[in-house]
Amino acid sequence: MTTPPRYAALDVLRGLAILGTLGTNVWIFTNVEGLVGYINGTGRATGGWAPVQDVLQQIAQGKFLGLLTLMFGIGLAVQHRSAARRGQRWPGAYPWRAGLLMLDGVLHYFLFTEFDVLMGYALTGLIVAFVLSTGIRAQKIWIGVAAAIHAAMLAVVVAALAVLPPAADEAHPLSPNPYAEGSFWDLVVFRAENLLVFRLEIVFILPLSIALFLVGARLFSSGILDPGRDALRRKLMIAGFGVALPLDFVVGLTGGDAGLMLGRYGTAPVVALALLAAVAHRYADGRAPGVLGRAMVPVGRTALSCYVLQNVLCSIVCYGWGFGLAARLTGETLVPATVALFVAVSATLIVGSSLWLRRFERGPLEWLWNASYRRLAGEQEPVPAR
């Protein structure tokens, strides 16, 4: 049996996606009203820090979430290819994987963060796993239909936001504020009480997630990571960096709520495709990762553990049941404190994952997840070749 190649780009891309999502989510943690304040636009930076905050948020907004979604699709394609190589039926025991990911997401949502993505990825992965068992033509139809549905939904929402009168200037602060004043359990209850509202994004982006999962899978099958696909990667980079990225900054910084929606769910996924192509192009010739790449690799290899840990660390630092940083920030200290928190947590993830992998093959959550899956699916751990 031929051993499949291990692509350095995959680990780098996963690490980049994980730290990139932190670059988006860290602003939610440092908002004194959490996700509610982030959505309502309250608790923002003031003075000269305001435009800095806008630019920093726009850099990460939606792009690394899109990249992470593409990487999940590629991961699904890798599993599909591995099953085919071993002569196993597909999707086979994959629903157990989706179920475990859903359980991870539910626990992650209630205990630490109401903007968890794992629940949505579990649902999307279950759907796409069955789609991958169909032919290429059927998969392309799924991509087209899902993308069309998402575009129609996005157009309706953007149009509605564009014509709606601006919201009243007076703020309506959370009272009581469970993020700043509540206990750990108060936040659990708050997430339970607002489950439908906080999980609405999963429903809204489900067609987009299906399309990106399938696009990631198709790109992997088309050899996006292999030498000789320079033309494909170049087209994606031109579309993403040359067209979508400038448009993303224009609509995001000047378009109000409508522009924010259009950027996050419209142009940002195209930029994510360019990020994928750029990193794939960097490593397509088989070169080893450089300094930045080596920093991303351990995070990418322990992606699930790092994703959960970054949210645990930010919760401890920012929320009232922890150190309560968010409640102490002002409009003048918000940006430097948020940037410092991002750097500190990123460094912790990079160093921690590197040290962990010196002794263990998998991250802690990856090990637990893999062991649980094999037990549920009745599979044995493969014996390493001597």
Predicted local confidence at residue 382, as pLDDT: 52
Our CA dihedral for 224, 226, 231, 235, rounded to 10 degrees, sits at 30
pLDDT at 172 over 80: no
**pLDDT tens, 212-269?**
999 999 999 999 999 989 999 999 999 999 999 999 999 999 999 999 999 999 999 9
**Confidence class for position 384, pLDDT limits 50, 70, 90:** very low
Measured between alpha carbons, how far is residue 300 from residues 11, 14, 53, 147, 366 in Å? 4, 4, 27, 28, 11
| Percentage, residues of the chain above pLDDT 70 | 95
Question: How high is the pLDDT of residue 288?
Answer: 86
Give dist(CA 35, CA 191) in Å, integer.
Answer: 11
**What pLDDT, in 10s, does the model give residues 141-166?**
999 999 999 999 999 999 999 988 76
* Enclosing H/E stretch for 280: helix 268-283
Q: What is the DSSP string of 196-214?
A: HHHTHHHHHHHHHHHHHHH
Q: Give, in order, the Cα–Cα distances in Å from 118 to each of 33, 108, 134, 167, 297.
A: 23, 8, 25, 32, 21
pLDDT value of residue 262: 96
- Residue 102 · residue 120 · CB < 8 Å: no
Residue 4 and residue 65: Cα distance in Å, rounded? 27
Q: Pick the more confident residue, 152 or 290.
A: 152
The reported pLDDT for the residue numbered 167 is 58
pLDDT in tens, 5-30: 568 899 999 999 999 999 999 999 99
Grade residue 86 by pLDDT with cuts at 50, 70 and 90: confident
Q: Provide the residue ranges of all domains of the chain, joining segments of one domain with +.
A: 8-162+174-377
Average of per-residue pLDDT values in the chain: 92
Q: How confident is the model at residue 296 (pLDDT cuts 50, 70, 90)?
A: very high
DSSP letter, residue 46: -
Whether residue 285 is predicted with pLDDT greater than 50 in this model: the reply is yes
Is residue 66 within 8 Å of residue 213, measured between CB atoms?
A: no
